[in-house]
Amino acid sequence: MNLVIDVGNTAVKMAVFQNDKLLKKEVFPADQFSKKFFQIKDSYPQIKEAIISSVSHENSEMLRMIRESFPLLEFDQNVSLPFENKYTTPNTLGKDRLALVAAAVKLYPAKNVLIIDSGTCITYDIKTSEEVYLGGAIAPGLTMRFKSLHKFTANLPLITPKPENPLIGNSTATSILSGIINGLEMELKGMLDAYRSEFEDLTIIFTGGDSEFLSLPLKNSIFANSNFLLEGLNFILEFNKTQ
């Protein structure tokens, strides 16, 4: 049994896996780590190993807590990956993107896969049927677009996203919703068309915090999986046990 920990920009995700099966998942602010960690540790005494990935520097107290409980694999540049990485600046590549590619290798072997992760940023990552990671794209996420419009203008309000938006806004609020939501949907559709023109039989995975919201108008042949990153980290841990 494995403990998988993903420290993101806004929250910590902690999951328990039995082989490939997700048994438990918690999402919480970083300041609740100690409480949540010991709750899961006490609830699942069968946990034998752990992996941690962070988009920033891990808290030293957090690492100490885990190491005192389990053998810990820290996801860094020394970790073996189950695919060939052709990114030309690997030291700048986010570990979350690598974990997503690992999940694609595990769940969709010998297939061309595009992973779209809609979190703080929207990332596009492509792995080929030969299990080669080529790279992708990075764009501002949904919430970042709303906050940027509010922060860098004098009079525009901060708006909460809604699933239904008019094409033609008849107020400042609905105009912002139209511009951001409809604009992002069209951006996504354009990116999907471009990737599909480059890769045959392309499998598309939509994941991340806004995946269910943004994938609604893009349902055709797209798989939504909110746990894709965690599954990738679990696979990386299992893969490194054999290296």
Q: Are 150 and 161 in contact (CB under 8 A)?
A: no
Strand partners, 206: 116, 224
Q: Has 113 been labeled as part of a binding site? A: no
Q: Has 64 been labeled as part of a binding site? A: no
Q: Check 96, 193, 201, 210 and give the catalytic one.
A: 96
Tell me the domain boundaries of the chain. Answer: 1-74, 78-243
Q: Has 117 been labeled as part of a binding site? A: yes
Q: Return the pLDDT at 62.
A: 87
pLDDT beyond 70 at 216: no
Q: Return the pLDDT at 242.
A: 87
In this structure, the dihedral spanned by the alpha carbons of residues 99, 104, 107 and 109, taken in order and rounded to 10 degrees, is -130
Q: Is 96 a catalytic residue?
A: yes
Angle between helices 60-67 and 33-43 (to 10 degrees): 10
Q: Is 198 exposed, middle or buried (0-12, 13-18, 19+ CB in 10 A)?
A: exposed
User: pLDDT tens digit string along 115-172?
Assistant: 999 888 999 999 999 999 999 999 999 999 999 999 999 999 999 887 778 899 999 9
Instruction: Report the topology of domain 78-243.
Output: Nucleotidyltransferase; domain 5 (3.30.420)
Q: Has 105 been labeled as part of a binding site? A: no
Q: Has 96 been labeled as part of a binding site? A: yes
Q: How many residues does the chain have?
A: 243
Domain 78-243 in the same topology as domain 1-74: yes
User: pLDDT tens digit string along 1-60?
Assistant: 999 999 987 789 999 999 899 999 999 998 899 999 999 999 999 999 999 998 766 678
Report the share of the chain in percent with pLDDT over 70: 94
Instruction: Report the topology of domain 1-74.
Output: Nucleotidyltransferase; domain 5 (3.30.420)
